[in-house]
Amino acid sequence: MKSFLKYVLATVVGIIVSTFILIIFLTFIIVSAVKQSSPSAEKEIKANSVLHISLDHQITEKNENNPFNNLDIPGYRGVKSIGLDLILERISLAKEDDNIKGIYLTPSIVSTGFASLQTIREALKDFKTSGKFIYAYSDMYSQKAYYLASVADSVFVNPQGILDFRGLASSTVFMKEAFDKLGVEMQVVKVGTFKSAVEPFIRNDMSEPNKEQVNSFLNSIYNTFLLDISSSRNLEVDSLKAIADRFAIRNAENAYEHNFVDGTVYKDEVLSVLKEKLDIDQEKKIPSVSLLSYNKKGKYSKEREQIAVLYAYGAIEDGEGMESNIGGDRISRELRALREDENVKAVVLRVNSPGGSALASEVIWREVELTKKEKPIVVSMGDYAASGGYYISAAADSIFAEKTTLTGSIGVFGIIPNFKKLMNEKLGIYFDNVKTGKFAAMGTDPTQPLTEEEKAIVQINVNQIYDTFLQRVADGRGISSAEVDSMGQGRVWTGEQAVELGLVDDIGDLERAISAAATKADLEEYKIQKYPKETDPWSSFFKTGSDKIQEAFMKNKMGEWGKHLETLKNATGQTGVLAKMPYEVEIF
């Protein structure tokens, strides 16, 4: 009995001590996160400084106020991230900052889409119009990194470094065989010859129509990629193509021989060049500030009249959604509030989305349509504005996209997983039901495949949604549904191609869209306000705490593989009919 009581007492004490330690550890995390996520005062920039831009971190569409981002504590290092909006703002502010004399650009692996990349590159080009310099250096340039670096006044690479230049490729992960082994059948109902979002789940390779569309938009992006490098480096496009086709650049020496870089030097030698440029003694350090730390405030506008920039990015979902996706209810509520706000004279809807729920897309479309009747609304497209992303854009007064934006993908599909083999044969789990009508149990039994009659019912529903999608685009663009259908069928286009087809009005970035909105609203003086407005990071965290923690740790531990898990989760977890582009397009 004494031994038993001793063990019980030891267990209780152990639980109390463990709980106490856990509380201290969690308190430490929260205090650290609060300190790191709290807005700091404007950092004083020393005279004769350089702005250091590496872009070796996650780039989001809009800066996210997540307390776990950039968190650095023992045992956990947060995912460093910055919004594209802040990148552009800070480059623009540095252009006017007398203490910033130039930019030291050190890109290696840049994880963002080509449209965002192109926007950053244009911002760097604009920075150079101030007469300030940009020097680029890296041990290894990926193709995206070199695309950015090519805008610099001088480009340097480590003598033993790498510069990748082989042409672009698009890669897709196919999972049919994995599903077969698991005993899961993905039942698909769709509209659109090119609507290949379902292919990773029902095939082990690309269909011919899918290869055709990927080849088309990939070459469109490649042409822009080559033209921009050609202009900056004074190299002929045909020469660039030939160099890529021969894989002629395999080391730093090759890069120098073909005029891709201005020198093969070590980092200390580049810093020496920078010191000479800044007229700094070689024994002294270069005053510098990183892009993440540069928090100079812009001029405060006293104007009451404003142009609202509403950010809608990520997959489109029913309900509220989270900060990193487009919740149909949340974004439509924001649009409604902006429509009713007398100080808001025009709205720019910034869309960066591969699509998602067709119903949520319709909910947002309705608010765009109603807003257009009250005040100008202009769409600015980011890396993606495809399928549901195009659906919510179609009703706007004007649509602007980058040349490399992926848009269109006008088509819909539904996926209904059948887990019969997995449940019955592998796990020994069975379902049974009693019903009052022929279709009463339709979709409730995950082990019951759809009958032909049930498939026909789902197909009718998908067809109706597609017809509605066509009509929304036809009404918004002032063309017939038949014309939209000829450009639709789920086919993806680049922004450049979409302008030629009439799906997009013109090529232009967010600034161009804001300028167009100001013209439509007859505004000369105005301030720009971002929406949804930033909230306190901890209030948003406690609303969806477990989701935030799971998301933060998944990104931290799984890195690039996390997106494949997310794709699988979406495929088996989403319900309803989807207006979504073909998977997540990765271009290398």
Identical fold at 49-165+249-290 and 306-584?
yes
Q: What φ, ψ does residue 298 adopt, rounded to 5°?
A: -80, 175
Could you say which of 3.40.50.300, 3.90.226.10, 3.90.78.10, 2.60.40.10 is the CATH number of the domain covering 306-584? 3.90.226.10
- pLDDT, residue 36, reads 46
- pLDDT, residue 20, reads 58
Query: What percentage of residues in the chain have a pLDDT greater than 90?
Result: 71
Q: What φ, ψ does residue 580 adopt, rounded to 5°?
A: -140, 145
Preceding omega of 532 cis (within 30 degrees of 0): yes
Reported residue count of the chain is 588
pLDDT in tens, 351-362: 999 999 999 999
Low-confidence ranges of the chain (pLDDT < 50): 25-39, 76, 545, 571-572
Q: 354 CB contacts (<8 Å, ≥6 apart)?
A: 315, 384, 386, 387, 388, 389, 409, 580, 581, 584
Task: Say how far apart CA 569 and CA 563 lie, in whole Å.
Answer: 10
Where along the chain do its domains lie? Answer: 49-165+249-290, 306-584
pTM, rounded to two decimals: 0.87
- pLDDT, residue 256, reads 98
> 504 with 381: CB under 8 angstroms?
yes
The alpha carbon torsion through 559, 564, 569, 571 (nearest 10 deg) reads: 160
Report the catalytic residues. 195, 387
- pLDDT, residue 376, reads 98
Strands (E), 421-537: 492-494, 506-507, 527-531
Q: Is the dihedral of CA 537, 539, 544, 545 positive or negative?
A: positive
Q: How far is CA 559 from CA 84, 325, 554, 555, 565, in A?
A: 20, 19, 7, 5, 11
- pLDDT, residue 585, reads 60
Q: Which CATH architecture has domain 49-165+249-290?
A: Alpha-Beta Complex (3.90)
- β-pair type (377-386, 344-353): parallel
Where is 393: in which H helix or E strand?
A: none
